[in-house]
Structure 1
Amino acid sequence: MKKLLLPIIITVLLVGCKNEDEELHFEEFFIEEVSETACNSEEENCAFISIHTPLAKPVGPRSKTINQNIEEHVLGLVDYQEMQNIGSLEELAQRFIDDYEASAEEFKEYNIPWEASVEGRIVYQSAELISLEYKVGLFTGGAHGYTSVSFLNLNPETGEVFSNKDLFTAGFNNYAEKLFRKRNNIPEDGPINSTGFFFEEDKFQLPKNIGFLKNKVILRYNPYEVASYAEGGIQLEIPLEEVEEFIKIL
């Protein structure tokens, strides 16, 4: 038996854009689902999933594209072997609980509740860029859970996702490498992996997740990306004024 809290929608943000007459409204979407299978609420050991993310109000094709990209991003964050062919955030929440309950029934001796939490927020917004940050915690058994921080950068005019190449000139990679070496005590003339990192082919690469705040740019390497789990997330925060020359869109 399951308890399902219906999605809560609250309008929180307006962004004016050029290619639609109506302003772009962002709303807070929240959904939580809890399993009562093998659940003792007094011991707080019930399996649960919660998803909190901004979504654009459906006023046109652009909003639809934005929401599709946001939902695809969130679906990719709650990523484990059973999560396939899921088309919505509601379906994601339901599938997570269903998979837990099936696992709890099949392996009763390993009754460890699963947990998933996705917290998303807009950390930067302008006529040129919408940057969202997502904090994720995921546990589906094993020695430890997994936490991550990710960013999603969207074009407000089209709703499409910006890639690193869309956002930065080629010179930003060299600048970021110098900064990374300095912050992590890696000799300038030595291999990038000489102190224990594992960049592919021993060549520095920008992280998958780069976010924008009002006054700084965040470079985020999550666990396992370039270092072991024990190292945790590796994050560089760069004042925006120091890298403005490398940014194409601002």
Structure 2
Amino acid sequence: MTFNLLLIGCNKDAPELNFDELNIEQVSELNCNPEEENCTFIGITVPWAMGKDSRSNLLNSHIEDHIIKLIDYQDNKELNSLENLAQTFINDYEASAKEFPEYNIPWEAFVEGNVTYKSEKIISIQFDLALFTGGAHGYTSITYLNFDPESGRLISNKELFSEDFKNFAEERFRKKNDIPENEPINSTGLFFEDDKFQLPQNIGFHENKIVLRYNAYEIASYSEGTIQLEFKMDEVKKFFKIL
């Protein structure tokens, strides 16, 4: 586990929030062919608040919980740290490979996190996931967590925008995906709950844009891939509740 320092400024009343880059890597020696880079491995590289105060601890706990949920395909309630997650991932692969000797396809898990936006009101972190644990295909996703820089608490999506933003986003969504205004939102094969448009689980902030990302399976089949909307900051700032 290694760290690289990153400084994030908060508002003038709160002390500076210091981030390091947390790196965790683990490789299984079972069925491993290093020359062909064909080994089961897990890698985690994410921002990590280095203060010992409650703000840093709270922010880090949200990052840790998020990564565990991304990678822990078995929903193991006993996982309580990223180091434990990495070791469990390797152990699960080795147990599976020993139980089924003919199974020799390596597993892979990699999460990379980056701070994509920072201001006095919000810190947005993007997490890129690549996961393969056997089967016909792996899984990739991009997720976001948004934090209050002053307290370290997680900001819910409902706190980000006014109610009018959902209507604005739906108009753009229908236009981009060729869904007529007078047709149900699921008329082209999507599966929004109750056939009503909803904002995605993941909303991320970047320096000049807002990203709304529906990952695979969220509103469409895996074969449809991800669906993403992007808005320039200037065109949606009138809907902001928090910035």
TM-score category by the smaller chain?
Answer: over 0.9
**Does 1:105 pair with 2:133?**
no
Q: Extract unaligned runs of 5+ from structure 1.
A: 1-6
For residue 74 of structure 2, what is the aligned residue in structure 1? 81
Whether the 8 Å contact between 2:210 and 2:231 is mirrored in structure 1 is yes
Of 139, 150, 158, 1:165 maps to 158
Aligned to 1:25: 18
Conserved 8 A contact 1:24-1:59: no
Q: Which residue of 4, 7, 24 corresponds with 1:10?
A: 4
Q: Is contact 1:10-1:28 (8 Å) kept?
A: yes
Separation in 1, partners of 2:190, 2:108: 30
Match of 1:175 among 168, 174, 179: 168
- Name the aligned partner's letter for residue 222 of structure 1: N
Cα distance between partner residues in 2 of 1:11 and 1:240: 28
Compute the TM-score of the two structures, normalised by the length of structure 1.
Answer: 0.94
Deviation of the 1:59 alpha carbon: 3.5
Q: Which residue identity is paired with 1:221?
A: Y
Query: SS at the partner of 1:50?
Result: strand
Residue 66 of structure 1 corresponds to which residue in structure 2? Answer: 59
- Does residue 196 (structure 1) correspond to residue 189 (structure 2)? The answer is yes
- Taking the aligned partners of 1:240 and 1:17, their CA distance within structure 2 comes to 21
TM-score normalized with structure 2 length: 0.97
Mapped partners of 2:222, 2:94: distance in 1: 28
**1:243 has 2:230 as partner:** no
- Give the equivalent residue in structure 1 for 2:199: 206
Map 1:220-239 to 2 at 5 A: 220-239=213-232
SS in 1 for 2:68: helix
Tell me the residue number matched to 2:29. 36
- Cα deviation per residue 1:57-113 (whole Å; 9 max; x = unaligned)? 123111111111111111111130164321111111111001111111111111211
The whole-number CA distance in structure 2 between the counterparts of 1:81 and 1:95 is 11
- Paired with 1:118 and 1:158, the residues of 2 have a C-alpha distance of 25
Give the partner amino acid of 1:104: A
Question: Partners in 2 of 1:57 and 1:82 — Cα distance?
Answer: 28
> Over aligned residues, Cα RMSD in angstroms?
1.2
Q: Percent identity?
A: 57
Per-residue deviation, 1:191: 0.3
- Is the contact between residue 28 and residue 90 of structure 2 (CA under 8 Å) also seen in structure 1? yes
Distance 1:83 1:242 in 2: 42
User: SS at 1:27's partner residue?
Assistant: strand
Is it true that 1:56 corresponds to 2:49 in the alignment? yes
Give 5+ residue unaligned stretches, structure 2: none
Aligned AA (1:13): L
Residues 61 and 82 from structure 1, CA distance in 2 versus in 1: closer, same or farther, beyond 3 angstroms? closer
Distance 2:194 2:242 in 1: 30
SS at structure 2 position matched to 1:87:
coil
Number of corresponding residues: 243
> Structure 2 counterpart of 1:41, which letter?
P
Structure 1 runs of 4+ with >6 Å offset: none
Q: In structure 2, what is the equivalent of residue 217 of structure 1?
A: 210
Distance 1:243 1:127 in 2: 18
- Going from structure 1 to structure 2, the CA distance change for 1:26 and 1:121 (only over 3 Å counts) comes to same
State how far apart, in whole Å, the 1-side matches of 2:27 and 2:13 are: 41
1:134 to partner: Cα distance:
0.6
Deviations 1:121-146 (A, max 9, x none): 00000110000001000000000000
The aligned amino acid for 1:173 is K
